[in-house]
Structure 1
């Protein structure tokens, strides 16, 4: 018997890349191997030299098809097997290997918004729902929309063996979140991309779209982020290491902001539980800071930090690479 392998990759669309996938039928007993695709159709190659290479980097069971079928997260290579210019995973791997002795771990909180007919799910056509307040972690048909999709997605992530650690309804009606981690880089980003793909694919069956736009609705509505929790072995033992990491992030704030997702200035306004994108701050239990130190971390004198600046549409390979390079670099000196 053969099985189906769904090859998933990140395309070259700007400013926010899209996920693409296609199916390969593989004889039973064989592992997913190198494959290819038409890069001229994904903004990754000209038509005159259109071939690009897919190399599997993370394989898990396919929870939608079941049986022996698999999901295959891939990185994109040129035909000489060097990283494609759109391949951000390669640099993430290099950073993770350089600082492997510090045992970095990440937990990423992926926010997203369900859309129906161009409006957030549950929003009345031509109007607006009641003000934000009851929707966050809410319950009831007047407050919550899309729970059936969320439950199906959560089960799928679990069946795929992903490190999904929780879900919750978010502050804006029609907005939700799932969390992946704690996992080391680059695997945390591999898993986040697979979880995103599963979300889009499962929502198809409900005739609902998903957006990771950082500010899907202008005005007095929360945006969507990818709050990134991070620690090293030193941070898990010492509060001084926590402060060193925060200070290092402040010194490199501009580089991080420029790579934390397109449209970051639309979301990081200083309102709706954000710090202004033009300023850097950190504080204990402060969701209005760029970086939050959880209260229990201060109390216990060790733990992790939460970088609240990454957008929902961020590239997790780039975000985790930058945090590793900045924080681990400072902690190594």
Structure 2
């Protein structure tokens, strides 16, 4: 395992003109997050300069078996907190080969609204809250709860500090710092009213960037 860890932490920044770009998109349920990585030459700060890519939509519930290709259009770039260096996370939305958005691509219609000159002129600010609960992988029970049982009633948990009040702070802090590293405008985090329930805030961010940042923050949380 230590050998694997050594390679995971291997610094590849001395490889000239090569980066890893992790393309991220929303899957067929409209809630699941998918991603795949590719090697690119150079550095990028504009998503429009990144190449489009494709994937098998029949495997994500976004295409039929006789016509499976779905095209990824890069829309936002973030620093990769896992690979670091010049490596990047690339938020994409998904289109059919005809250029029409797939049915889960809600960003397409949102972008038409947010990019309208009248909306752009208003500089609309948004702040988003994301609440979540950490679950044990095997038992599907909230982390830190008595197995098959329940914690004490709410009261000491909201914005709580210390043992028997908060659970999973190390995961939360790792996610918080990873988002900041990525360049996400994460406003803060706090423990919520139920033990093992947490919240993070995105924003204030302008226009569609708030939603882009929220989805990438969700991706980072899943990976953490």
With normalisation by structure 1, the TM-score equals: 0.58
Paired position in structure 1 for 2:181: 159
- Separation in structure 1 between the aligned mates of residue 26 and residue 154 of structure 2, nearest angstrom: 34
| Aligned pairs (5 A) from 1:1-333 | 1=16, 2-13=18-29, 16-29=30-43, 32-98=50-116, 99-116=119-136, 117-202=139-224
- Separation in structure 2 between the aligned mates of residue 89 and residue 150 of structure 1, nearest angstrom: 27
- Separation in structure 2 between the aligned mates of residue 69 and residue 26 of structure 1, nearest angstrom: 9
CA contact (8 A) 2:141 2:148 kept: no
Once the two structures are superposed, residues 55-75 of structure 1 have per-residue CA deviations (whole angstroms, 9 ceiling, x without a partner) of 110001101111111000001
The unaligned stretches of length 5 or more in structure 1 are 203-333
- Separation in structure 1 between the aligned mates of residue 60 and residue 23 of structure 2, nearest angstrom: 14
Moved over 6 A (4+): none
CA contact (8 A) 2:189 2:198 kept: yes
Once the two structures are superposed, residues 242-288 of structure 1 have per-residue CA deviations (whole angstroms, 9 ceiling, x without a partner) of xxxxxxxxxxxxxxxxxxxxxxxxxxxxxxxxxxxxxxxxxxxxxxx
Quote the RMSD (CA, aligned, Å).
1.2
CA contact (8 A) 1:78 1:84 kept: yes
Once the two structures are superposed, residues 76-96 of structure 1 have per-residue CA deviations (whole angstroms, 9 ceiling, x without a partner) of 011122222211001111111
The unaligned stretches of length 5 or more in structure 2 are 1-15
Q: What is the aligned length?
A: 200
- Separation in structure 2 between the aligned mates of residue 135 and residue 167 of structure 1, nearest angstrom: 14
SS of 1:48 mapped into structure 2: coil
Paired position in structure 1 for 2:8: none
